[in-house]
Structure 1
């Protein structure tokens, strides 16, 4: 298979990316296309699945235009963000836009579920119920859109809905099954009790298979639309973070992964998931392992918000240049990146973002740098949760679009105190291509495929700036706690005004 090519497709929150690699793990080409997020009401975040498919077709056309030969693609796999599911009726029609993982609408249902069965949900699903999961989203639908809820005949996680468009299969992997919060984390199948809480029949859910299992081949109809060769092997795939942490090199305990994407995440590999209220757990691609993950909801999304709100004229590159002109600590300016509520360690959908400490001496440069630092502080908040449970680490692989900024990369090292390694290729589409290779037998197993992972850069914390950030982190936490009741009051008032 020396001339074989592998295709990985990743559906992100803002774009879909397709990457083609060789059997040696070398990137041949990649292409991206935007996907639109709808916000019909404050706190709501939705996408039209038809837009995902259009983006997939667009990226594949771009790859073929670059000279990639689709006849050499021996296998493909897909990834996408967890918790985002597509609902269909009995005819296969999509019932409504897909509710995203960063949607905050189900706060009332989360409170109700936690009060009535919080401990039971944790014991069954392995995770604490919060607004990011599909379970409370389905509870919201039952309350607010009952006619849609009663017509649900099939539920598919985002990557599985896309894959069915390619090979006709109806399946998901165990990681995305946990992400729906309807799977029994101990038995491995769907939980009748969790499905009852969501008000759905387990029969509407897909079969659970392995992430590297073959689910089918590209159909003639899909080939006609995409340019793929009919009969190309299709591999199930997994969640984006599972694939991304693996492709970054988090292949053994002791190495963590930090992700600067739409959201920011902190992950580490464990041999046994220890279910808890403060840490999310999923099965990992590496056999016999799970990964623990904590996350802050707004990272690149906060960066984009600031650009659109104040710096549209200079763009991201201009903001980065301005941030470089401000000192570590931004002369006392703090930013809390809670634009859409927060996950770990606060688990509070009603937290909101804030700049704290603004004075006449602050300039645009301070505002830009404070955003970088605020996301880094939030990542340290997440890291402290893992450290508190004895599963911290000293070295982390850094991935995601935010890694394009050299300043932001160094700030992450200085704030967290970690040795930061930046992989040459560490995104989910690259991970999906490796998964395609494992499933098709191009690679013998996850250890064999991991030989293709390379590190481009290593960063150490700067001692002087790290001292500034240690003091800043304490104030960041103190301000977050002090502003919590204010945030709750503002959100309650806004809801009452609608």
Structure 2
């Protein structure tokens, strides 16, 4: 029975998953990755650490499964979008990779929008903001021109990592669109958008389909990873694309919410939707697209509350204790409200100077209330994105799949169901590495087509339905949450004018 390897490069760790042709997980392994924040609002990673993580996780997953190197039919990779890696003529990485949650290019984003906002949206389908590579590269042009001048090749994150395996240089359209430097009409790089920032198009990789074979594992990579030399590696796609696909959302109207480092809301649609600030990307399914928009701090905020209020406990024990205590507090956390803007905020406010807070604090509140307010505050932030997507697109959301590590929490799942009024379903495996493995199976000939892979491998294992009474109560609390955000926006701007 052929095995498929999916590798996802997350913001905090790299995960490798082995599955069989029924979607059964054979083994999983992960390795940590660290981000650096040289200045407030900045977020960078060293690509060399990505490769170190891959060469740690892949041998582990092969050993756990007891598979020989030649037992892998194909490999697929995914990673966060909007993460550019610059290489010089010698193949050396020039500088750390700027991450998707980095906010340094807010001024460049405003300038690009003021100068060519309509062109950017019409061509690239999305609005300029600090998340997109276009704005980050504009910042580099202004502040690090020597780095730009030395750039021979630009990679997106998953493509750079794959190039260490195969030596190829290519990308897929989900990552090309995520750079905000491509043309939705031609599905290729846009001269007009590149010209806006003076970027040399010769440094941009060819664009191919996610399931196409990009290359094969080299002899050197085989020695480093334990994979067999010559194993096919598909192009792959960005993490949100393979996550939505791997969750089984392959029809218009189906969607998902991801509870990971960032929180993301997805909705599949049958055509490109232009509704900035909600983003739009191509789906793995031919002819299908999906809307996506997210918040900066989801698991990040959850982890901060854990480390701040449960520091005496080991990490996993602390998460379990947070869950237990939060479940014992009534909805509304006795008037304690949390805004999870610890890294500024993306959707739907796109304001890097928003800041997190707890409001309504009294002597009667303990750490159980902070845990409950944390879950609720993140749910409110995700609901904010859902409401914006509905208002902008007129789309109807049905049941939603919950993805990411946070989906393991029954308490959090129920809170999100009650806040949004939507049924939350948990797939057997909603990880991006699982979706990447499915794409590998399509390219490797294990599955007849992308739909066949989903039919064979995707199933739901948990479901949380909303309670009407709690949904109504949360609606009233959400109004206070939103009003407080509006009132505090000006104060946060005054506090952080120098950032």
State TM-score, norm by structure 1: 0.97
Q: Which residues of structure 1 form unaligned runs of 5+? A: none
Distance in 2, Cα, partners of 1:156 & 1:431: 21
Counterpart CA distance in 2 for 1:143 and 1:55 is 32
3-state SS of 1:150 partner: helix
Aligned 8 A contact 1:10 1:78 in 2 = yes
SS at match of 1:386: helix
What residue number does 1:162 align with? 161
CA distance in 2, matches of 1:234, 1:215: 6
1:407 aligns with 2:405: no
Cα deviation for residue 322 of structure 1 reads 2.1
Spell out, residue by residue over 1:477-498, the C-alpha distance to the aligned partner (whole angstroms, 9 max, x if none). 1111111111111110x43xxx
1:316-337 alpha-carbon deviations (Å, 9 max, x no partner): 2222222122210111111111
**In structure 2, what is the equivalent of residue 473 of structure 1?**
478
CA contact (8 A) 1:383 1:392 kept: no
Tell me the residue number matched to 2:335.
332
Residue 429 in structure 1 maps to residue 418 in structure 2: no
- C-alpha separation in 2, matches of 1:96 and 1:461: 47
Superimposed CA distance per residue, residues 404-448 of structure 1 (whole angstroms, 9 cap, x where no aligned partner): 211001001000000111101111000000000001111011110
Structure 1 counterpart of 2:74: 75
Does structure 2 retain, via aligned residues, the 8 Å contact 1:254–1:395? no
SS in 2 for 1:476: helix
Which stretch shows the higher mean deviation, 350-359 or 49-58? Answer: 350-359
Partner in structure 1 of residue 467 of structure 2: 462
- Counterpart for residue 62 of structure 2: 64
| 1:199 to partner: Cα distance | 2.5
Q: CA deviation at 1:70?
A: 2.0
CA offsets 1:3-52 (integer angstroms, 9 cap, x no match): 11100000000000000111121110010000011111111101100100
Structure 1 segments of 4+ aligned residues over 4 angstroms from their partners: none
Q: Quote the offset at 1:143 in angstroms.
A: 1.5
Aligned equivalent of 1:357: 360
Q: Give 1:279-428 correspondences, 5 Å limit.
A: 279-314=278-313, 315-388=318-391, 389-428=393-432
| Equivalent residue, structure 2, for 1:257 | 256
The answer (yes or no) to whether the contact 1:138–1:199 under 8 Å persists in 2 is no
Residues 39-118 of structure 1 mapped to structure 2, 5 A cutoff: 39-66=37-64, 67-118=66-117
Deviations 1:336-360 (A, max 9, x none): 1111121221111221111111122
Q: How does 1:74-223 map to 2 (within 5 A)?
A: 74-223=73-222
Q: Is the 8 A contact 2:305 2:370 kept in 1?
A: no
SS in structure 1 of the partner of residue 130 of structure 2 = coil
Say whether the 8 Å CA contact 2:11–2:33 is kept in structure 1: yes
Task: Give, in whole Å, the separation in 2 of the partners of 1:70 and 1:304.
Answer: 36
The superposition leaves residues 91-123 of structure 1 with CA deviations (integer Å, 9 ceiling, x where unpaired) of: 111001100000011111111111111121111
Distance 1:386 1:264 in 2: 14
Aligned partner of residue 78 in structure 2, secondary structure? strand
Deviation at 1:278, TM superposition (A): 2.5
Q: Which whole-Å CA distance do the structure 2 matches of 1:198 and 1:317 have between them?
A: 48
Deviation at 1:402, TM superposition (A): 0.5
Structure 1 equivalent of residue 491 of structure 2 = 486
Shift of 1:464: 2.5
Partner SS, residue 196 of structure 1: helix
How far apart are 1:197 and its partner, in Å?
Answer: 2.1
2:233 corresponds in structure 1 to 234
- 8 A Cα contact 1:29 1:68, kept in partner: no
In 2, Cα distance between equivalents of 1:122 and 1:327: 44
In the alignment, structure 2 segments of 5+ residues that lack a partner are: none
**Alpha-carbon separation, structure 2, partners of 1:309 and 1:132:** 28
> 1:69-96 deviations in whole A, cap 9, x for unaligned?
2211010010000001111111111001
Q: Residues 354-399 of structure 1, C-alpha deviation per residue, up to 9 Å, x if partnerless?
A: 1111122211111111110011011111111222221131200111
3-state secondary structure, aligned to 1:225: helix
Report if aligned partners of 2:268, 2:290 keep a CA contact under 8 Å in 1: yes
Supply the distance in 1 between the matched residues of 2:272 and 2:345 (Cα, whole angstroms).
Answer: 23
Answering whether residue 19 of structure 2 is matched by residue 14 of structure 1, we say no
Count of residue correspondences: 492
CA distance in 1, matches of 2:347, 2:38: 26
